[in-house]
Structures are given as structure tokens and as C-alpha cells.
């Protein structure tokens, strides 16, 4: 199965920017163990901007997804919990509901980005003896060096693209077990 890393897109520079989000809840609780500590619904005002676009994906300060994105996640029956997040533009008097997904997180997986030039993969693992993982999962987090990465399967990525999700940036990755002691 092919996997993709969710990443920033040019559209996301116009995505809503949350005001005063720090301290509303502990972002370390955005995990399966901490989910019960999160509020069921949270409201945030957004920064005023004439260029704001309510994209289907917001990556900062934490992952927020639109209702259509949430519906796709639910179609794939992934283990995922959601908190409701209402974003309001107080000047324009607009609001939109988003969802904060809380996903499974793996710490024993590493990823390598695949790069292409003229349709040919130029980043291979020829020198590596590591076996590429096929996890039979569609959406999850992996953590490396203290940073959390959002990983999507090809199936869920295609479903999102067919629905013309805005703000969805993808980079193909290969997943491996983290090696211990040089293995």
C-alpha cells in the first residue's frame, strides 16, 4: 500500500489563524490516552483577514478538518475520536465547524520521502536492507524527533482528492520499522 505525508500547501497561508489558542487546552492531550481530558466542543476566534479561506484542512496549531474530511475518515472506519471546534470570524460574522481528530500514534515507524523527477522515482532505498511496511491502516500519526506527522493511505488520499478537499498537500513516503542498534 502507498502512503502519503500530509503537508503544507500554498492555500494554507490563507487558512483561518486561531487567536488565543494557547492555554485553552493542553495540546499534549491530543492523543488517545488524553482524549477524555479534551473539551467536547471548543470555540476559537480567528484573526481578521480579507484573504481568509475556510479550507478543509488546517495544520497549525493542530490538525483540524472540515465535516466532509471527517465523513471520509468515518467511511474508512479508522480508530479516531473527534472534538468539535467552532471557528468564528467576529468581524465578518461567519463561523464554521471543524473537527479535531485524535488518531492512533506509532513511535516505532520511520518514514522516508519519495522524490520524483520527470515521472521517475529518484529517491530509492537501494542501499537499505529495511523492509517497507504495509500497515493496512488508512490514517494515523507517526512521531519522530518529537514531531508528529499525519500519514494517509493512497485509498483515503484518493477519496479526499475526489471530493476536492482544499488545503490538502501530499508527499509520498515509504514506512519502515525504526532500527535498533544499527538494524
Strands 57-58 and 80-89: unpaired
For the stretch 69-120, pLDDT in tens is 999 999 998 778 999 999 999 888 899 999 999 998 888 888 888 877 776 7
Phi, psi of 130 (to 5 degrees): -75, 145
Query: What are the boundaries of each domain within the chain?
Result: 14-103, 105-177
pTM above 0.75, yes or no: yes
pLDDT, one tens digit per residue, over 142-159 is: 988 778 999 999 999 999
Sheet of 57-58: strand order equals 41-45, 80-89, 94-103, 64-65, 57-58
Mean pLDDT, residues 128-140: 75
Amino acid at each position: 500500500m502507498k502512503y502519503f505525508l500530509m503537508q503544507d500547501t500554498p492555500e494554507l497561508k490563507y487558512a483561518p489563524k486561531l487567536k488565543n489558542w494557547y492555554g485553552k487546552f493542553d495540546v499534549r492531550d491530543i492523543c488517545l490516552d488524553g482524549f477524555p481530558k479534551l473539551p467536547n466542543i471548543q470555540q476559537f476566534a480567528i484573526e481578521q483577514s480579507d484573504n481568509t479561506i475556510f479550507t478543509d484542512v488546517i495544520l497549525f496549531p493542530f490538525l483540524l478538518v472540515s465535516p466532509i474530511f471527517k465523513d471520509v475518515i468515518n467511511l474508512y472506519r479508522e480508530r479516531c475520536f473527534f472534538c468539535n471546534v467552532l471557528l468564528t470570524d467576529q468581524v465578518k460574522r461567519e463561523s464554521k465547524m471543524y473537527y479535531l481528530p485524535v488518531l492512533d500514534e506509532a513511535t516505532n515507524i520511520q518514514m522516508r520521502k519519495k522524490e520524483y523527477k520527470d515521472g521517475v522515482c529518484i529517491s530509492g532505498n537501494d542501499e537499505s536492507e529495511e523492509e517497507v511496511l504495509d500497515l493496512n491502516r488508512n490514517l494515523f500519526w507517526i512521531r519522530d524527533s518529537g514531531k508528529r506527522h499525519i500519514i494517509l493511505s493512497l485509498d483515503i488520499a484518493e477519496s479526499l482528492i475526489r471530493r476536492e478537499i482544499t488545503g490538502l498537500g501530499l508527499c509520498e513516503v515509504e514506512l519502515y520499522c525504526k532500527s535498533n542498534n544499527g538494524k
